[in-house]
Amino acid sequence: MKKLLYLIIILPLLSTWSCSHHVNCCTPPKPPATITAQKNGTDWEPLFAGATFSNSDSLSISATSAVFQSNAYNKIDTLNIKIAYTSPGTYPLKGNQAFYGVFNNNAVTGYKMDGTYNNVIVITGYERLSNNNSTAPDQVKITGTFSIMFVDPNNSSGINFQNGSFYVLVPYL
């Protein structure tokens, strides 16, 4: 009985000690990408965000949100942005550099950018994150903002993403 009592007292102390002596022991890691915006004036925080960075200096960012109702995803929307990235700065978006699509009850609708709007992505930061304690390749943290308007034939106001911000972690090439 004494041994059981000692274990009950010592185990919580050991777990407290082990967490207090390791940096970031009890802090969950940040996700590899986060994107937020005001979509038509309403907060838009997608469930999934990701990015890729290629050797040809192409940065692709994507975000997907979903509405879950009655045990099924009834509406899924996705925003994709792709630019020829060279350094932090302002990148006007033209043509097919941004796409917005909605999958709603088995129907897919795609929206093109409004060419009369100042569609733009601004890369505000590029930081190489070295990890000397791992054999995994270093990552690059890219941060920025965006403002994009899409044409909606059913709504003269279109679909707009304002006050957009993001950070993405991509492998260093």
In this predicted structure, what is the pLDDT of residue 53?
Answer: 78
Between CA 97 and CA 144 the distance in angstroms is: 16
Between CA 135 and CA 27 the distance in angstroms is: 22
In this predicted structure, what is the pLDDT of residue 28?
Answer: 54
Q: What is the DSSP string of 100-115?
A: EEEEETTEEEEE-B-T
Q: pLDDT (tens digit, 9 = 90+) per residue, 29-46? A: 556 788 999 999 999 988
Between CA 96 and CA 157 the distance in angstroms is: 20
Strand pairing category for 139-152 and 98-104: unpaired
In this predicted structure, what is the pLDDT of residue 23?
Answer: 53
In this predicted structure, what is the pLDDT of residue 18?
Answer: 46
The model carries a pTM of 0.76
Q: How buried is 162 (Cβ within 10 angstroms: 0-12 exposed, 13-18 middle, 19+ buried)?
A: middle
CB 114 within 8 A of CB 91: no
In this prediction, residue 171 has a pLDDT band, given cuts at 50, 70 and 90, of: confident
Q: pLDDT (tens digit, 9 = 90+) per residue, 70-107? A: 665 667 889 999 998 878 999 999 999 999 998 887 78
Q: How buried is 107 (Cβ within 10 angstroms: 0-12 exposed, 13-18 middle, 19+ buried)?
A: exposed
In this prediction, residue 26 has a pLDDT band, given cuts at 50, 70 and 90, of: low
In this predicted structure, what is the pLDDT of residue 56?
Answer: 66
Of 104, 107, 117, 103, nearest to 151 by C-alpha is 117
Q: How buried is 169 (Cβ within 10 angstroms: 0-12 exposed, 13-18 middle, 19+ buried)?
A: buried
Structural domain boundaries in the chain: 31-171
